[in-house]
């Protein structure tokens, strides 16, 4: 099976966590740190993304995120193909920015 832009996936985690109390802020910060430890990258303040080589690998990371969900707040997980990720249009104000590059892949024959 050859790796291509339809088999490579991105796991995206969107969240809106409460930060009114010190306990809530600590939980939100802990969740962000756990995402970073699992290889996610901050895309925006409450949006983290992770590149996965296969469907099976994305399932592993989805389960990990589920295991570290905070008690309060709203968390959404989504998986999209590398092709879909590459079709994003990103703007800072009216200035278009390049789409983030896909991490390098090692392909063994």
Chain segment 19-39, per-residue pLDDT in tens:
999 999 999 999 999 999 999
Residues 3-13 have a mean pLDDT of 83
**Per-residue pLDDT at 92:** 84
DSSP H or E segment with residue 24: helix 22-37
Evaluated on CA atoms 44, 20, 38, 69, the torsion sign reads: negative
Say if CB 105 and CB 48 are below 8 A apart: no
CATH topology of domain 9-97: Alpha-Beta Plaits (3.30.70)
Query: Is residue 4 pLDDT above 90, yes or no?
Result: no
As a whole number of angstroms, the distance between CA 18 and CA 20 comes to: 6
Strand partners of residue 76? 14
Instruction: Give the count of beta carbons closer than 10 Å to the beta carbon of residue 35.
Output: 21
């Amino acid at each position: 099976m050859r790796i291509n832009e339809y088999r490579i996936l991105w796991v995206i985690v969107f969240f809106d966590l409460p930060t009114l109390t010190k306990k809530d802020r600590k939980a939100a910060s802990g969740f962000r740190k756990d995402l970073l430890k699992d290889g996610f990258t901050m895309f925006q303040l409450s949006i983290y993304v992770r590149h996965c080589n296969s469907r099976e690998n994305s399932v592993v990371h989805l389960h990990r995120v589920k295991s570290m969900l905070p008690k309060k707040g709203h968390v959404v997980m989504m998986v999209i193909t590398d092709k879909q990720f590459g079709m994003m249009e990103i703007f800072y104000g009216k200035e278009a920015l390049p789409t983030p590059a896909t991490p390098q892949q090692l392909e063994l024959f």
